[in-house]
Copies of this chain bind each other. A is one copy, B any other.
Amino acid sequence: MEAEAEKLAKRKRIRDPLRTQQHIIDTAVEEFTERGFDGARIDAIAEQSQTNKSLIYKYFNSKEELYIASLADTYEKLRASQHEIDLDHPNPNESMRKLVESTFDVFANNPKIVRMLTHENVQNARFLKQAVSIKMLYTPLIDKLAHVIRKGQEQGIFRPNIELKNLYISISALGYFYFSNIHTLSIVLDEDLQSAKLVTQQREQAVEMVLSFLRK
């Protein structure tokens, strides 16, 4: 029965090259996030995507290009989730709270994005550098951040002299690090950081840190 259904799923994909390609990318993202570029196996991707190696090479030419495609896909998802963040609140404090929370949540809800970025960093962004189109990298979040900051300063409730880029980094750090380093931290702190309680505490702490820092 299962096999039947699987076959059908496959049948559907057949003769739909774009669908097949996306399916390969999805599987590749899985493999690359889990094992990194060097650890990933084309064999595994072929098997798990229920296609075959030849097809992968037909569509993507090399492991490297497949990786880049996977990376681009991941980045696009990150950008998309940042786009969704909606900050239309008259109170800059509230907007900022929302912004920090949303940023935190992006990382909380998309472990694959976190891992993929981490892999990139650990390789000195060698693929990102060469390949992903620059517009793909533009992050809408920083504009939103700038907007909120300005509003807060205009209303006199945020301090002056705020380094935008540094603030952006710090806000990201408070969320990203928690999830990127969750495994070693869990061991070192002898505590399960996946627990809802700790995640919530971290999220709230991040918000309070940022807000108290901004307060005039």
- Residues on A lying within 8 angstroms of B by beta carbon are 35-39, 115, 117-125, 128-129, 137-139, 142, 163, 165-170, 172-174, 176-178, 180-189, 191, 198, 201-202, 205-206, 208-210, 212-213, 215
Contacts and interface: CB of A to CB of B under 8 A. Distances in A.
Nearest to A180: B121
A213 B170 CA distance: 14
A211 to B, nearest CB: 9
Contacts of A209: 170, 209-210, 212-213
What 7 pairs between A and B have smallest CB-CB spacing? A173-B177, A38-B38, A125-B183, A38-B39, A212-B212, A209-B213, A173-B173
Interface of A is mostly: helix
A145 B128 CA distance: 37
Nearest to A188: B137
A163 B201 contact: yes
A30 to B, nearest CB: 14
Nearest to A163: B201
Contacts of A213: 205, 208-209, 212-213
Given A117-B184, A139-B188, A169 B165 contact: no
Contact of A125 (B138, B169, B184): B184
Nearest to A178: B169
Contact of A201 (B37, B166, B202, B205): B166
Contacts of A205: 163, 166-167, 170, 213
A137 B123 CA distance: 26
Contact of A185 (B38, B169, B180): B169
B39 A183 contact: no
